[in-house]
Structure 1
Amino acid sequence: MEISATELRTIFNKIVAKRTDIKTDGFSLETCRVMVNLMDESGNGKLGLAEFATLWKKIQKKSKMLLVIYKKNDMDGSGCMSTPEMRMALKETGFSLNDCIHQNLAARYGDADMKIDFDNFVSCVMRLEMMFKVFKRIDVDNSGFIELDFFQVLSVLQSNSTVCLNV
């Protein structure tokens, strides 16, 4: 038995649909693809039972923490986060980012009114974690700076499954 990103989306959306305290259109297929790609050790685009069990444990642990942070930083109780609320939430999750990055994240993960729902917040945090882990892996001298050409970046991205399993 293997679970595709589409099937994972169905599972997660049945769970999140029961929540009335957060606003979300449900998990997007893109978010579920990210999750599958992070956990797919075989590279077949699906999760086997062991991979799904590992993901499920991580999601339960991580989603509780992210839900608490999300709700805590939704200062107006709207069920969505504004850009400033997202900034505070990301800082609470451990990301110290500059203004330019915050603006780009709000534009990428926010809706037309720059409101961020729970699914997009989770997706943003997951991608940030993945990028930071990849960066730490290639910053071998811990300088905080890297120089890579296109083929080095491609090589790192293709091997990121071993980097990102602990998300």
Structure 2
Amino acid sequence: MQGNLPSREYLAGLFQNVDKDRSGSITANELGAALLNGSMSPFNPETIRLMIGMFDRDNNGTINFEEFCSLWKFITDWQNCFKNFDRDNSGTIDVNEFRQALIMFGYRLQESLVCLMHKKFDRHGRGTIYFDDFIQCCIILQNLTSAFRKKDSDLDGVVTLHYEEFICLVLDAKV
């Protein structure tokens, strides 16, 4: 084992447990059935779709073992980050904890945008974000940032776009 990464043998066993149809790849349904939130509720299906899209390098709609290993590392990293900011161990993060997580990721966003994002990903309307919604937010923010950077050639944080370019930018960001 390297650091806190499990061995390939351990991950292979997990992969086989999740790959219920023994196809050698994991579908969104199989992954969704295997992942639980800290609240013991299933992951948001949209989060599952985004994670598959992020790690499906051959674009076949499923993830193979190598893609699964990458996904496992990212879920573990996100979980460790989430736990660092879930200071009361509630299984959720409030807007202040969320703001601190974004700052740690290098995002210095206006308070109004942080509140808007928190509200958007507070699926249950309780003023808190669950782990799966946190992952969804992180993926979308990362995808939008990457798409924006492609247009921000001088890296000044400002781009000029026509409406259709904007729509293409958002759609290409896999949100």
Corresponding residue of 2:29: 6
Query: Which structure 1 segments of 5+ residues have no match?
Result: 162-167
Equivalent residue pairs, number: 151
Report what 2:94 is aligned to.
82
Identity of aligned residues (%): 23
**TM-score, reference length from structure 1:** 0.76
Q: Which runs of 5+ in 2 are unaligned?
A: 1-22
CA distance in 1, matches of 2:126, 2:51: 27
Who wins on radius of gyration, i.e. which is larger? 2
Q: Does the 8 A contact of 1:106 with 1:116 survive in 2?
A: yes
Deviation at 1:87, TM superposition (A): 1.1
Q: Is the contact made by 1:73 and 1:81 (CA closer than 8 Å) also made in structure 2?
A: yes
Residues 31-72 of structure 1, C-alpha deviations (whole Å, 9 max, x = no match): 11112333445655x1253xx622x23322222222122112
1:165 is aligned to: none
Aligned alpha-carbon RMSD (Å): 2.5
Moved over 3 A (4+): 1-4, 39-44, 154-161
Classify the secondary structure of the residue corresponding to 1:127: helix
Residues 61, 112 of structure 1: alpha-carbon distance in 2 compared, 3 angstrom cutoff: same
Q: CA deviation at 1:157?
A: 4.4
Which residue, 128, 134, 137 being the options, matches 2:150?
137
The partner residue of 1:67 within 70, 79, 85 is: 79
